[in-house]
Amino acid sequence: MSERWLLFKRSAGEFWNTFRRNRPGLLGAFLLLTALALAVFAPVLAGRDPSETIRDADGRPFTFASPAEHAPLGTDDAGHDIWAQLVYGARISLAVGFLAGFLSMFIGSLLGILAGYFGGWTDTLLMRLTDILLVIPDVPLMLILVASVRQLNLGISPLVIMIGVIGLLYWTSTARLIRSQVLTLKERQFVARARAIGAGHGHIILKHIIPQVLPLIVANTVLIVSTAILVESGLAFLGLGDPTQPSWGTMINFAFSRSAISNGAWWFYLPPGLAIVWVSLGCVLLGNVLEEILNPRLTAHHLEGDEKMVARQEAPSAEASSASSHL
Amino acid sequence: MISDSTPLLSVRGLHTDFIGLDGTVAHALEDVSFDVHPGETLGLVGESGCGKSTTLFSLMRLLPSAGRITGGQVLFDGTDLLALTDREMREFRWKEMAMVFQSAMNALNPVYTVGHQIREAILLHLPVDKAAADKRVEELLDLVGIAKSRKEQYPHQYSGGMRQRAMIAMALACQPRLLFADEPTTALDVMVQAQVLELLKQIQKELGLALVLVTHDLGVVAEACDTVVVMYGGKVAEYGSVDRVYNAPQHPYTQRLLEAFPDLNAPSEKLASIPGAPPRLNKLPPGCRFEPRCHKKIAVCATVAPKLMDVSQLDSAITPANGQSLAGNSEISPLHAVRVMPHLAACHLCAEPGERAV
Amino acid sequence: MERRDYIIRKLFMAVLTLAVVVVVDFYLFRVLPGDPVRAVIGRNVRISREAQENLRVQFGLDKPLHEQFFATLGQWAQGNLGISWSLRQPVSEVLLAKLLNSLLLVILGQTFSIVLGIALGLFAGWKRKTAVDVGALAFSLTMWATPTFWLGIILLVAGSSWLGLPTGGTLSPQNINKPLWEVWPDLALHLILPTLTFTIVYLGEYMLIMRSSVLEVLSEDYILTAKAKGMTHWQVLRRHALKNAMLPIVTLVALNLGFTVAGAIYIETVFSYDGLGKLFQTALEKQDFPLLQGAFLLLAVSVITANFIADVVYSYLDPRVKAT
């Protein structure tokens, strides 16, 4: 046990060293962490409740106030502070994104491991299922599912419904990835050896397979989370979010449907979109970094570096070689 | 055969470095020199990582992006290859010197037919039309023993040995005068190995090619080569005709290599091996590169690197431990009849006692 | 032989998927809550039980579910997708009209993004780590992280205020119902911004895929062989790298073509462009089940078909395909 811990510590240390030197990865981490901080410290940073109506000098709701008139980000069509909405919106967008991403990742990893490890019918079934699922258009399906579940009036929060729907539809890429990794692991024979000494399936999966696919799962999760955040924003934009708990996507929906565009209120639709890009970019940079570390492509390809190949100082004289006199 | 003693290819003092990602320099080749004459088969032999393939890639100027040729002279029929521009070198490649790579699955492009790829080589360098090129493709396939109908097939439809033969056919497309073969038999099983070797020898006889064979297999060299260059740690350890080097090896490394070669006539003898590992090319010892593993080292070996020196006068003094000649071909190459082949080795022990560096 | 078996297997999968989609499509809308009769009549209109029953029979809603399924299946096979409740028109007619609009947008946008994406990806992979590569990477990554609809909004604002382009719709109000050959400049004008949005969104994706494909291909042994044969870099790229690197793109393109008809929902919503996406959104709001059902079926069929075509094309480009 302690030996494995030492190994883990050492590989974690190497991992950290490589990570430290990779600038896009660090940028990604920075972006993500600031967004998380925004969400966590929302009440402190917002300064006010997002549903509070800002009033102008005459006591009327100060609608579409520009950032110059009302710092820092102006107000919307009902006089609500946009900065506050943005900051609280971070909580919703990130929460839904992360939860949906984790759900997706969990389902995908589980199915991928099972399919890869057991092979045979399990595998074929899973592969056909993912093939079919991949081909069904995602946005229309999600629209229908969310709308219909909402109609059932089961009292489930729209956000939870969204988490469920996204999680249930986006696990296919993870499943395929994990499955092929498990297949590679299986070929390394330690599975056969473990079975030969009588280890049970569960034991093998827990002790051997999972630790080895874990890095891949982690790397993939980051990317899936960013996909989930983007998908959520899209669905929210189409009106499927919770108006009482607006995410960034819902904010843009408000802006779009409440004439922010025609009123020139760029402070209403620009910041939430930028926030989405901020977070998604962070996740993607982070995810790419992790992938780079795990699958390094450090060697140059064949069409690189030709100009530098011959670096001779000057044409040598015949005596340059020690062998010249003998040949 | 030939009586021309002017070398076709003359390598002098070739230096090649590899620059690592962190800037460290690995001296992959240092002061490599040898000659190849028209019609001659030269074997380039050594352990993995000794620089044999790097030598080939340096001569063809096909090093990977980390490689730098930092010194030396490569004369092909009088032209200094290292002084050519990229464009001139491109015209040179394949037309004068061609290369047969290891029979990797992907050395041929999987999405084009084999015939197409051979034809491409022809059309690149020879002023012929497509029909003539096609005909030549068929001739070439015939030469290497592949059915003409197979030219419309794809590489994945060929077996390993066939792919290797197709690569040979492709290399001969423009009738080069010199052929480099990088471990042509390594990835193949024994039966196919023999076929390919036989093919190479036959082609060489028919076309009068010069052939440089890179391999780690001493048996292949014994069977197919006239001359041999033994490389160690990026330098030439010994160089001479196969007959002399196999029967009177002067460099301790060569001696150990030959001892390690199993003798069919004495199967119960223990296999000899050379303890230790090859040197790390970015942390080279100041003296002889073989010194750490040498069984005959003297004091000077650790501090001064030995230069290649003529050891032909020592040939009669030493014979290999088991007293058998290992050179397979009893027939003496006409080269020997016409020209005195040098026998060089880079070892302090070979210097005259009075000349030895201190 | 290999290729034929491969195509047959892919055809089988396509048909199977289609069957699944058809079943899902039917049952999904039958089990969806919401009384279809109510939806037709309207929420607040009072109607006698008898009249309701008559309507139910008229819509065939009184029969057992599986009977309804086969009846519907028969209808669908004949191209009869029912009548739209909100538009009082045959669904197939409505779909066809909107489909053409969507196709126009999608095909234009995809063509631009494919051509530009492949070119950019090829260059970026070849000249790795140069300014072009880094710039293209940064652009693509940022585009991946940008929500489509938001990009559309920004381009809409920028395009209309700086360039005077129309703010939405497929045609100017006065040109609707006029023949195409008369109003195509107006249509073109309305297409500029949505197509631009489309192109930018997919450009990044194609560039990234092409670039990584190029990087992989350029590390293969056959590239070295090509170099050894004496080809220039450009010749190596064009003859050996391009074809091999484009293989993943083919599959992706066809898949995207099918998907983007559906995914164009966002662009069509932002620009009020009258295509399938917008239709779907509207039908959802109005709970127009026949329309939704038909639209969903059409979208799924287009993806399945596009996928199958991609597989066939791929099998002709890559001689290594096997049946299993």
Contact A237/C281 with Cβ under 8 angstroms? no
Question: Is residue B13 less than 8 Å (CB to CB) from chain A?
Answer: yes
First to last CA, chain C: 12
Beta bridge partners of A53: A80
Question: Is residue B139 less than 8 Å (CB to CB) from chain A?
Answer: no
- For residues C67 and B263, give the distance between their C-alpha atoms in angstroms, rounded to a whole number: 85
Cβ neighbours around B20 below 10 Å, total: 11
- In terms of DSSP bridges, do strands B97-100 and B227-232 run parallel, antiparallel, or are they unpaired? unpaired
Query: Which residue of B9, B70, B308, B350 is the best one to mutate when testing the A interface, meaning the one whose CB has the most A CBs within 10 A?
Result: B308
Length of chain B: 358
Report the residue of chain A nearest B341, measured CA to CA: A327
C53: enclosing H helix or E strand: helix C49-58
**Distances from the Cα of C160 to the Cαs of A264, B267, B268, in angstroms?**
12, 90, 91
- For residues B14 and B30, give the distance between their C-alpha atoms in angstroms, rounded to a whole number: 6
Give the position of tokens 């009869």: C80
Sheet holding B25-36, edge to edge: B25-36, B9-19, B67-76, B79-80
Angle, vertex CA A21, rays to CA A19 and CA A24, nearest 5 = 75
Nearest to A245 by CA among A7, A114, A51: A51
- For residues A282 and A222, give the distance between their C-alpha atoms in angstroms, rounded to a whole number: 9
Q: Which of A238, A277, A288 sits opposite C269 (nearest CB)?
A: A238
The C-alpha of A240 sits at a distance from chain C's nearest C-alpha, in angstroms, of 11
The C-alpha of B20 sits at a distance from chain C's nearest C-alpha, in angstroms, of 17
- For residues B282 and B335, give the distance between their C-alpha atoms in angstroms, rounded to a whole number: 39
SS (H, E, C) A154-215: CCCCHHHHHHHHHHHHCCHHHHHHHHHHHHHHHHCCHHHHHHHCCCCHHHHHHHHHHHHHHH
Question: Is residue C17 less than 8 Å (CB to CB) from chain A?
Answer: yes
Read off the amino acid at residue B10.
Answer: S
Binary contact (B111, C319; C-beta < 8 A): yes
- For residues B82 and B32, give the distance between their C-alpha atoms in angstroms, rounded to a whole number: 14
Packing angle of the helix pair C91-126, C276-286 (nearest 10 deg): 130
- For residues C16 and C19, give the distance between their C-alpha atoms in angstroms, rounded to a whole number: 5
Question: Is residue B106 less than 8 Å (CB to CB) from chain C?
Answer: yes
Contact B207/B98 with Cβ under 8 angstroms? no
Report the residue of chain C nearest B57, measured CA to CA: C228
Dig out the tokens for B302 from the structure: 């650790």
Length of chain A: 327
Give the model's pLDDT for residue B318.
46
**What is chain A's pLDDT, residue by residue, as a tens digit (327 residues)?**
566 677 777 777 777 777 777 777 888 889 999 999 988 888 888 778 877 777 777 777 777 777 777 778 888 888 888 888 899 999 999 999 999 999 999 999 999 988 888 888 888 888 888 888 877 788 888 888 887 787 777 778 888 989 999 999 999 888 988 888 888 887 777 777 777 887 777 777 777 778 888 878 887 888 899 999 999 999 999 888 888 888 999 999 999 988 888 888 888 889 999 999 999 999 888 877 666 655 556 678 888 878 888 887 765 555 556 666 666
Contact C249/C64 with Cβ under 8 angstroms? no
Q: Which residues of chain B have pLDDT under 50?
A: 1-3, 318-338, 358
Q: How many CB pairs under 8 A join B and C?
A: 61
Domain boundaries, chain B: 9-96+176-355, 106-175
Give the position of tokens 């009588």: A198
How does DSSP classify residue B179? E
The question of ipTM being above 0.90 is answered as no
Give the model's pLDDT for residue C279.
85
Give the model's pLDDT for residue B333.
43
Convert the pLDDT of each residue in C49-93 to its tens digit. 777 777 677 666 666 777 777 777 777 777 777 777 777 788 888
Report the sign of the C-alpha dihedral through residues B324, B327, B332, B334, in that order: negative
- For residues C88 and B92, give the distance between their C-alpha atoms in angstroms, rounded to a whole number: 76
To the nearest whole number, what is the mean pLDDT of chain C?
A: 81
**Distances from the Cα of C173 to the Cαs of A93, C176, C180, C186, C188, in angstroms?**
38, 6, 14, 10, 15
Question: Is residue C254 less than 8 Å (CB to CB) from chain A?
Answer: no
Convert the pLDDT of each residue in C175-218 to its tens digit. 676 776 777 788 888 888 999 998 998 898 888 888 888 988 99
C39: confidence class by pLDDT, cuts 50, 70, 90: low
Give the model's pLDDT for residue B322.
39
Residues sharing a CB contact under 8 Å with residue B147, sequence separation 6 or more, in sequence order: B141
- For residues C186 and C182, give the distance between their C-alpha atoms in angstroms, rounded to a whole number: 9
B32: enclosing H helix or E strand: strand B25-36
Contact A171/A104 with Cβ under 8 angstroms? yes
Nearest to C40 by CA among C99, C82, C94, C96: C82
Question: Is residue B169 less than 8 Å (CB to CB) from chain C?
Answer: no
Binary contact (B90, C226; C-beta < 8 A): no
Binary contact (C153, A132; C-beta < 8 A): no
Convert the pLDDT of each residue in C258-270 to its tens digit. 667 666 889 988 9
Please identify, in words, the CATH class of the domain defined by B9-96+176-355: alpha beta
Binary contact (A310, B69; C-beta < 8 A): yes
Contact C260/C202 with Cβ under 8 angstroms? yes
Sheet holding B309-310, edge to edge: B97-100, B178-182, B210-215, B41-45, B227-232, B235-241, B344-345, B309-310
Question: Is residue B351 less than 8 Å (CB to CB) from chain A?
Answer: no
Binary contact (B33, A298; C-beta < 8 A): no
Report the sign of the C-alpha dihedral through residues B223, B228, B230, B234, in that order: negative
Query: Which residue of A86, A136, A145, A149 is the best one to mutate when testing the C interface, meaning the one whose CB has the most C CBs within 10 A?
Result: A136
Contact A126/A134 with Cβ under 8 angstroms? no
**Chain C residues near residue B60 by CB distance under 8 angstroms:** 228
Beta bridge partners of A80: A53
Question: Is residue C219 less than 8 Å (CB to CB) from chain B?
Answer: no
Contact B188/B155 with Cβ under 8 angstroms? no
- For residues A64 and A268, give the distance between their C-alpha atoms in angstroms, rounded to a whole number: 8
A305: enclosing H helix or E strand: none
Q: How many CA atoms lie within 13 A of B62 on its CB side?
A: 27
For residue A247, give the 3-state DSSP assignment. Answer: coil
Contact B141/B151 with Cβ under 8 angstroms? yes
For residue A306, give the 3-state DSSP assignment. Answer: helix
Binary contact (A135, C303; C-beta < 8 A): yes
Rounded to the nearest 10°, the torsion over CA C141, C142, C145, C146 is: -140
Give the model's pLDDT for residue B321.
43
